[in-house]
Amino acid sequence: MSTYQFEKNEFIKLKSIEFFRNFIRNHNDKITDDDAFNPLRDAVAWTDVVRHFKAAFSGDELRALHADILLETLYPAEADATGHDTGASKKYLRQHLTGFFQETWNSLSHDKMRSIILNLLDTPAATVREKDIFEHRLEELQATLLLSEMERDTLLVLYFINDNFLALPEACPRSIAPRRKINFIAQCLDHGIHEVRHILSPDAKLQRYGCIDRDFDFNSVLHGFLVGADNNPLASHFYAKHDGETLPWDFYGELAEKHGALLKRLVLARAPERGLNILLHGEPGTGKTSFARSLARELNMECHEIAQGKTDRDGGHVSHTAFRFGALQLCASRIRAGRGIIIVDEADDMLRRAGSGGLLGIFSDSAQSGAGDKGRLNAVLDTIKATVVWITNTPSGELDESNRRRFDYSIRFDKLNDVQRLAIWKNNVRKHKLENLFDDIALEKFAGDYETSAGGVSLVLQNIAALAPEKNEAPVLVEKLIVPHCELLDIKSANTALLPAKDYTLDGLNIKSAVKLDRIIAAFRRFQSEPAPASPDRPRMNVLLSGPPGTGKTEFVKHLGKTLDTKIVVRMGSDLLSKWVGGTEQNIAAAFREAGAGKYILFLDEIDGLLQNRERSNRSWEVTQVNELLQQMENFGGILVAATNFSQNLDPAAIRRFTFKLEFDYLDSPGKELFFERMFSSPLTAGEAARLEAIPNLAPGDFRTARQGLYYLGGDITNNDRLAALETESNAKKQTGSAARRIGFGTVGSRS
């Protein structure tokens, strides 16, 4: 395969001379950069230069400039009788011609110099020649970006400046270079300055599409496209028509039922002169992109997807916000009116901020982006005349309100529940033709155990298809493939995270409640089994567990989930806190939505950070997050279990919203003996039992800690060692003061 040689082709030579001729006609000032005369290097013969100068200037004029020395004394013998230059004159010409013309231009009459140069560049008769790849690519660029002739030529001048085929008449600081370029381009194109200034403006195509930057520098990496180093069609760098597999519309079930009818009506009703902007936002990996594709197929419309960015010279992927804005505008201008849906996937940066630069950022070595340019986004949302589906994982609260209100319709995609994941597993099994390897029981287990995205499921089953295992090996291979995938993405396996300890039992726990524990468990069962009435007055099933650390609260929740055969969604208080204004409230609402959608038990651990007494709040957000949690508790239709070590710090209004309140206290004497025998499998003598009874503030967790501490010591472990370890745990509480803190609910005031 041939490689590109950096040289002027015939088209470049002709165009650069054409622009240079116009420049010479229009320029009347000094020229301080001899590179301005570069087009003369390959266009003139030295003997012609000698002849024209002798004809235009007298001997006195040449002697005053010392041009006579250059023309006659140094090179009288360099021109042969035929008028062709010798090798020596050509070498001198290339080395000194531009400097010679710079000196003569600045010293002699501009009119005479202009006449000499234009005569030297007298346009020869046009010859028939084939277009080279540069011309073809330039035409493709012009057609793709819908450039006018003047816009194309303006870009060419900047390209020639970039490659030093043309140069400004004087070197200048970068700060004033843009103004000098405007004047230079106007002279080269023989057009008015105001026309050039308009073409180079930020809102015009060249800068908006990123062909040039804000300093009017040519996007030099376009060189690869123009000279044929990149063989892909230019438009394919910006957007592509999706022709791949698409999920059927009914795959989305409740989502399609809730939004589908209105969404389809909106798309079909869009008038050609206006746009329709739809926002799909929410959790990553929840099917937003495939939903948009399915919508296009359901409406029998073409689906065009805006490219993500570019591959840089090192092979790395660079997202470029401004490039995508330009690509979107380009796509909208070229697709058939009313026949397409444009998808802007992973639009997070575009929606959070809008960058500078533009369409051809795909060719750039560095991404130019600016933060906070919401005006660019608003302008696009207001002017695009197409149906555009924007997809983002960014929480809606982090998007500027002025941007949010411009969307015609929005759909929030919450975290997938087990039922939705099961549908994804089944669909991908069919897609990869693996029905003979997996039954419904296996797929239900995968969907419940691994909270992976649709992409993760597809990736695992794609590899299973490649491995072609036997049926008995397939489930094992799925486990081996999906566990590392979940570890990589920090996805916790649901099959072991919330199983109670093997030796866990409610026996021996010191749980204080006005209602016996077995009746509370029965109440849970009844709550789950009875259909939810339409009345908003249905009793809540909110349970508060309070007490010191290690007294069995978390293990009780695990036991509850196993007893009720119900999955538990766990959220620590710290999981829900957000640095963004309103973010904590959104996280709280999302946790309740996830649990409600999957009919899971929602377990809020260490809830005191979220439900602290509002009377002691110092900041407004501390009040609003309590208000949000109280509202969610009031309206939640599932089982909520909250745990705290400091119930005395909770807001009084929150206490009233818990149907049952269970206080987990330190173990009493029978409980201590039961846990000792269960954990250590060693009977106590009367003296040892008395010593155990005398150890204050022991919790089930202390026995586990003591057993773990003794496990690796080796040798014979006696009850004396075990009791000593328990005494150490008890003394540690005294030193930290945790045992002295009051637990339980006490007397609370009223506040709603």
- pLDDT one-digit tens code per residue, 499-548: 566 666 778 889 988 888 889 889 999 998 887 665 556 678 999 999 99
Enter the pTM of the model: 0.68
> Is 697 in a helix, a strand, or coil?
coil
d(CA 554, CA 548): 12
pLDDT, the chain, mean: 82
User: What pLDDT does 131 receive?
Assistant: 85
Q: Is the pLDDT of residue 752 over 60?
A: no
In the chain, DSSP finds a helix count (H) and a strand count (E) of 32, 14
- Mean pLDDT across 3-18: 74
- Mean pLDDT across 487-497: 70
Q: 398-402, 609-613, 733-737: which has the minimum mean pLDDT?
A: 733-737
What dotted CATH number matches 511-664? 3.40.50.300
- Mean pLDDT across 277-287: 91
More confident position, 100 or 441: 441
Output the six-digit token pair for 730. 């008890």
User: What pLDDT does 538 receive?
Assistant: 67
Residue 562 CB burial class (10 angstroms; 0-12, 13-18, ≥19):
middle
Domain 239-310+318-352+373-413 maps to which CATH number in 3.40.50.1980, 3.40.50.300, 1.10.275.10, 3.30.420.40?
3.40.50.300
User: What pLDDT does 363 receive?
Assistant: 52
Phi first, then psi: give them for residue 373, nearest 5 degrees: -85, 70
Kind and range of the H or E run holding 488: helix 474-488
The band of 319, judged by pLDDT with boundaries at 50, 70 and 90, is very low
The band of 418, judged by pLDDT with boundaries at 50, 70 and 90, is confident
The band of 617, judged by pLDDT with boundaries at 50, 70 and 90, is low
> Is 289 in a helix, a strand, or coil?
helix
Closest CA to 679 of 698, 696, 665, 660: 698
pLDDT in tens, 623-672: 788 888 889 998 898 999 999 988 888 888 888 889 899 999 999 999 99
Q: 147-151, 188-192, 393-397, 745-749: which has the minimum mean pLDDT?
A: 745-749
d(CA 37, CA 54): 20
Closest CA to 25 of 138, 118, 93, 87: 118
